[in-house]
Chains A and B, each alone.
Chain A
Amino acid sequence: MSTRPLIEAFLDRRLLPAAQQWLRDASAEIATGPDHGRFASLISLASRHAKRDALDPDAGEIAAAGAALEGWNPERWTVLETLRVALVLVRPDLSDETGAAALEEAFRYADEGELCALYRSLAHLPAPERFAWRAGEGCRTNMVSVFEAVVLDTPYPARCFDDLPWRQAVIKCVFVGAPLWRLWGLDDRLSPELARMALDLADERRSAGRDVQHELWLCLGAHGGERGVESLERELQGSNTIGRRAAAYALARAGETARLERFLAEEGDAGVADSMRDALAGNTSQEAFRALDPRLQGAS
C-alpha cells in the first residue's frame, strides 16, 4: 500500500497555506520531469518552506503509518523531512532508471538534513532493495542523525540488508548509542554470529573499565549460549542499574526464566525487580526496551 497519501495528509495538517502552495507548485514541476539538478534543488529549497520542527504524530497517525508500511514509525520525523519525502514520492518514475538516477544524484549533493530525509524515503519506494548499497553508505556515516535515519523506525534494514551489513548496523547502534530497540525486525534476525559480536564487545568494554551499553543485551536473544548466560549473570551482579534491568529482560529472552526467578528472589532494587517481573510475565520483545530508553521522558 502506498504511503504517499498518508504523508501528504500529515503535511495538510501541519504546513501553512503558503508552504502548501509551494508543495503543490513543486509537485507539479516534478511531474513534468525536470533535470536531476533541479530536482535536487527542490529538495534543498524545501528548507525555505518547512522547519526542522518535530512532526509529532498522534497515536492515530502512528497506527496508520504502521498499517500502511509495516515497520514504519514516523514518531521522530521532522516536518521538513516529511515535506522532502513527499517531494521524492511525487516522482512518477520511481520504478525506472531515471527516478533511481535522480535520487542518487540528490544523495550525492545532499547536506545532513537532506540525507536524513532521503534515507527515510527509501522504504517507501518501489523495489527498495535497489538502494541497498546507498543505504550501506548511509550506515558508514559519522553523523549519528544520518545513521539513525537509515536504520531506525523503518523496515528497510531488516528487509533489504544482507547479513553482514545487517549485523554491522545492529552493533553500530549499540556502539554509537542509537536506540537499538527501534531497529525494526531485530528480534526476527538475531543469530549466533550477532550474539558473538555483542559478547566480544561486552568483553572489550569491561576490559576498558567501562559499563556495557544496556542495549547490547538485546543482541543475544536465544543465541548467546553458556557464554551469554555468564555475561548476563555478571551484569546482574554488577552495579549499573540500567544494565541490570536490561540483563533481566535478556535472561528471559534467552529462555532462562528459572535463573531469572532466582535473581528476583534476592533482588534489592525495586526498579530492577520490576523489570524482572515484567520480563517473567512475558514482556520480552525488543519493544520492552522502550521503557529503558534514556531519551524518552519517564524512562529511568
Chain B
Amino acid sequence: MRFFDPHIHVTSRTTDDLEAMAAAGVRGIIEPAFWVGQPRTRVGSFIDYFSSLLGWERFRASQFGIAHFCAIGLNSKEANNESLAREVLSLLPRFALKEGVVAVGEIGYDEITDAEERAYEHQLQFAKDHDMVVMVHSPHRDKKRGIIRSLEVAKNVGVPMEKLVIDHNNEETVEDTLNAGAWAAFTIYPHTKMGSERMVEIVKKYGPERIIVDSSADWGVSDPLSVPKTAKLMLERGVDAKAVELTTWQNALDAYGQSGQIDVDALLSKPAIDQTQLFSDNSVLRGQEPRVEEAVPN
C-alpha cells in the first residue's frame, strides 16, 4: 500500500526513520511549522527554520523517495511572546506563498489566551486572502473547548470549512469537527493522543469521510510509522480497504491538494530514488553505496 502522512516533523527524525517510512510505503508527507521544544528568542530563528522546511528537509526526504510538502505558520505557544509574534507574522508572505507550501499551519490554541487568538485570527485572514488551506493544532488541555473555539473563529473570519483541517481530534471532539464541515485529522501517538486501536473504532463508527490519519511524529516519543501501522490494523479488524485508503491517503490529498501544490500524478507514479543525483559530502549519505533506481515497495 501507499500512504500520505499529512503531519510529521521530519526535521526531528533520523535517516533511519525516513528509510523505514519509504519502505513502509509512505510516498508523501507534510511538515507543518511548529514549536521546536523550547521557545525561540529571535525572529532570525524563525527565518532559518522556515527556510529549512523549504530547503534542506525537502531535499533530505527526496533522497529517500518521499515527496515533502510543508505548512508555514506561527504556532500557538510562541504566539504568547507578542513582540516576537508580530515579527514572525510579518514573515508569512515571505514563506507561505512558496512552491510546495500546502497550508498555513500548524496554528491555533495552546492555553487559549488572547494573544494566541490574535495570532490565529491574523493567520486565518492571511489564509482567506490567499485562498489557502489551514491546518489547526488543537490544544492538549481543554481540547474540546479549544476545538469548538477554533471552528467558530475560523467561521467568523470567513475561512471555508472545506479548507479547514482540525488536527489531534479524539472521540470527544470528532463530532464537533465533522458537524462543522471541517476535515477531522487524528494523530496516532503511543500512550497519549490516540492509539491505532481507538482509531479503528472511530473509522468504524463515523466512516471514512473527511477523516485523516497522521503521525505528528516529532522530537518526543512518537512513531513515524503510525499511518501504515494503523492502516494495517484497520484492515486486520475488518475495515473496508476503500475506507483505509481514504483515511491514510486520499482524504489528505483532497484536503491539501486544494492548494494546487501537490502533483498527485507524480506521487502515484513509481517513486524512483537516484541518490547519485543527490549525493553530497556532509549530506545524508556518508560513504554508503548510493541506491539507484530502487523502487519504494508498495
Q: Interface on A for B, CB 8 Å cutoff?
A: 37, 40-41, 44-45, 47-48, 108-115, 142-145, 147, 172, 175-177, 208, 210, 294-295
Asked if residues A144 and B54 are in contact (CB atoms below 8 Å), the reply is: no
Asked if residues B55 and A115 are in contact (CB atoms below 8 Å), the reply is: yes
Given contact pairs A109-B47, A112-B54, A143-B56, A177 touches B99 in the complex (Cβ within 8 A) = no
Asked if residues B280 and A113 are in contact (CB atoms below 8 Å), the reply is: no
Count of interface residues, chain B, beta-carbon cutoff 8 Å? 24
Q: Give the docked Cα–Cα distance between A109 and B55 (Å).
A: 11
Q: Give the docked Cα–Cα distance between A283 and B59 (Å).
A: 37
Interface class of chain A by DSSP = helix
From A41, A110, A142, A210, B283 is in contact (CB under 8 Å) with: A142
**Stretch binding the partner chain, chosen from B89-97, B132-140, B201-209:** B89-97
Residue B276 CB within 8 A of the other chain: yes
Top 5 A-B residue pairs of the complex, sorted by shortest distance between their CB atoms = A47-B99, A111-B54, A112-B55, A143-B59, A44-B98
Given contact pairs A142-B283, A143-B55, A176-B280, A40 touches B94 in the complex (Cβ within 8 A) = yes
Contacts of A48 in B (CB 8 A): 260
Q: Give the docked Cα–Cα distance between A161 and B54 (Å).
A: 28
Asked if residues A37 and B93 are in contact (CB atoms below 8 Å), the reply is: yes
Residue B277 CB within 8 A of the other chain: yes
Count of A-B contacts with CB under 8 A? 63
Asked if residues A144 and B55 are in contact (CB atoms below 8 Å), the reply is: no
Asked if residues B279 and A111 are in contact (CB atoms below 8 Å), the reply is: no
Asked if residues A143 and B94 are in contact (CB atoms below 8 Å), the reply is: no
Residue B298 CB within 8 A of the other chain: no
Q: Give the docked Cα–Cα distance between A151 and B86 (Å).
A: 39
Given contact pairs A144-B279, A144-B283, A109 touches B97 in the complex (Cβ within 8 A) = no
Residue B281 CB within 8 A of the other chain: yes
Contacts of B192 in A (CB 8 A): none
Known pairs A45-B97, A143-B55, A176-B283; list 10 more (Cβ under 8 Å): A41-B94, A44-B97, A44-B99, A47-B99, A108-B47, A109-B95, A112-B58, A115-B55, A145-B278, A176-B279
Given contact pairs A37-B93, A109-B47, A142-B56, A177 touches B279 in the complex (Cβ within 8 A) = yes
Contacts of A177 in B (CB 8 A): 276, 279
User: How distant is A284 from chain B, measured CB to nearest CB, in Å?
Assistant: 26
Asked if residues B98 and A111 are in contact (CB atoms below 8 Å), the reply is: yes
Residue B269 CB within 8 A of the other chain: no
Contacts of B279 in A (CB 8 A): 144, 176-177
From B47, B56, B93, B281, A172 is in contact (CB under 8 Å) with: B281
